Amino acid sequence: MSEIPTTIHGLLAAYRRGLLTPLEVVDHHLAHLARVEPKLNAFAVVDRDGARQAAQQSTSRWQRGDRVGDLEGVPITVKDIVAMAGLPTREGSRVTSELKALVDSPVVARLREAGAVILGKTTTPEFGWKGVTDSPAFGTTRSPWNPEFSPGGSSGGAAAALAAGVGVAAHGNDGGGSIRIPASYCGLIGLKPTFGRVPQAPVESPYATLVANGPLARSVEDAALLLNVMSRPDIRDWHAIPHQSGDWRIGLNDGLRGVRIGYTERLGGAAVDPEVRRACRSAVDRLAIDGYDVTELDEVIEPLRPQFESYWKAGFAHRLRTIPAPRHNDLDPDFRKLAEEGLDVTVEEIDAAYAARARLVARMRRLHLDFDLLITPTMPTPPPRADVVYHSSLFDRWDHAVPFTVPFNLTGQPAVSVPVGLTGLGLPIGLQIVANHFREDLILRAARVLLDLLAWRWPDPNLARRIAVLQA
């Protein structure tokens, strides 16, 4: 069997040339998954039988020359926070139903229609509540770069699996940084599209207008192709924006000449670790040295904790009210504590948060009159240890997890994290690129330019060595 390509585009090229079949590739990934999973704990459930059946069907279609879609035979994972027919949706919780979902969520339906082969569902913290991945139902997920450290969250299982070489792409979703945080910590490309770009259902949650489904990938081209597929319309989502036909890969090589770039390490008063600052500033300096128009900015926005702490807790309280009181002891104790605090949040506090969101959107729209792109570090600190207590002094939500990511959930803008360096311990550092609403094309172009300047290629040799150790 030929060597297995590590990107979607490479894999599809191998299929077209008849060098590999989807069944061969999926069997390879399932075998690799079995070797690394005991040390990573990245999967809530592995759908071995379903994946092999789908791969066999895809193999037959390739052999007949009638592939069904743009991801024909591509092995991918789905985060266990959206419905996938035939499997339960546990959301990292012991209080959710073990019954199998009857229908696919919109993003899963689009992936299947495009011919993707879903290997299984990846881990998330309970209800996706935090920026690391551990849960009462499935335990602690670890980074393939170093299992002593966290891959981030809440799409931590997705990122850990993909970084470890399981699948060639991953689905995640992002309500406060949950795609971009693990992308940064795992050395991947993580794209949060404009809110409404990728249909989702159901949309009853108080956080519904913060959340965007999107891809984790190993190349900009792959991220763009996944956006093509994931963004196709679904009538179940009344928040969805009108579908934009076309191909997000077109224009990736157009560069950034004439594009005005603002850079800040101090967004909302954030404090950045020196190692992160050096890597991010070095990457931005490369843009300036190459002649791109880069301006350093100040804090840009006010600190968000005073405006949105109550709003954050109130969303947890909404979920808590749906869970029978006798089951509350089965919840993540830290989630339960915050949810119980949220029970006291008033309507006036919620109204104040909505008003603050409107002001934040207005501020960012004014910024984009002068700057086409805003660049920041993705994370203010290196990855924390896997056993860190979230929202504690060691890893505070507002100070250490989301100061650079959550603003753009609140505004709904598209943002992408790209890898730009490693810490002294050999752990990844990411840089975030943000644009005005609907300008995914611009952040994808910028990601391509930056990664080309840095000569970034997958896989990093350091990671390749560590994956070999995981398999031992």
The answer to whether 410 and 303 have CB atoms below 8 angstroms apart is no
Q: Which residues pair with 422 in a beta bridge?
A: 428
Instruction: Concatenate the DSSP letters of all residues of 18-72 into one string.
Output: TS--HHHHHHHHHHHHHHHHHHH--EEEE-HHHHHHHHHHHHHHHHHT---STTT
- Output the pLDDT for position 14: 97
Label the pairing between strands 415-422 and 293-296.
unpaired
Cα separation, 429 vs 381, whole angstroms? 9
Q: Which residues pair with 77 in a beta bridge?
A: 170
Side-chain-facing half-sphere of 136: CA atoms under 13 Å: 19
For 320, the token pair is: 């808590």
Phi-psi region of 455 (alpha: psi -120 to 50; beta: other; left: phi over 0): left
- Output the pLDDT for position 213: 98
**Helices (H), strands (E): how many in the chain?**
14, 13
User: Where is 446: in which H helix or E strand?
Assistant: helix 440-453
- Output the pLDDT for position 313: 98
For 467, the token pair is: 């994956």
Q: Can you point out the beta strands (E) in 73-220?
A: 75-79, 117-122, 134-135, 139-140, 169-174, 189-192, 212-217
- Output the pLDDT for position 1: 65
Summarised one tens digit per residue, pLDDT across range 220-261 is 999 999 999 999 999 999 999 999 999 999 999 999 999 999
The answer to whether 94 and 127 have CB atoms below 8 angstroms apart is no
Cα separation, 330 vs 5, whole angstroms? 42
Burial of 305 (0-12, 13-18, 19+ CB in 10 A): middle
CA-to-CA separations, 125 to 130, 145, 157, 302, 348, in angstroms, rounded? 6, 20, 9, 29, 30
pTM: 0.98
Regions of the chain short of the pLDDT cut 50: none
| Per-domain residue ranges of the chain | 8-305+345-471
Cα separation, 103 vs 355, whole angstroms? 36
The contacts found for 348-351 with CB under 8 angstroms, 24 or more apart, are: 349/310, 349/311, 349/314, 350/310, 350/311, 350/314
Who's near 192: CB < 8 A, 6+ residues apart?
174, 179, 180, 212, 214, 408, 409, 414, 415, 416
CA-to-CA separations, 371 to 191, 405, 452, in angstroms, rounded? 20, 18, 22
Burial of 394 (0-12, 13-18, 19+ CB in 10 A): exposed
Four-residue CA torsion sign, 338, 105, 415, 90: positive
Q: Can you point out the beta strands (E) in 325-456?
A: 373-377, 415-422, 428-435
- Output the pLDDT for position 461: 87
- Output the pLDDT for position 20: 97
User: Minimal CA–CA distance to 265: which of 288, 291, 283?
Assistant: 283
Residue keyed to tokens 């196709």: 232
Who's near 324: CB < 8 A, 6+ residues apart?
none
Cα separation, 83 vs 403, whole angstroms? 29
* Residue ranges in 200-244 assigned as alpha helix (H): 220-230
Amino acid sitting at position 109 = A
- Output the pLDDT for position 137: 98
CA 104 to chain centre: 20
Residues belonging to the active site:
79, 154, 178
For 93, the token pair is: 């919780």
For 231, the token pair is: 């963004």
Pick the CATH number of 8-305+345-471 from 3.40.640.10, 3.90.1300.10, 3.20.20.70, 3.40.50.1980: 3.90.1300.10
Cα separation, 235 vs 212, whole angstroms? 16
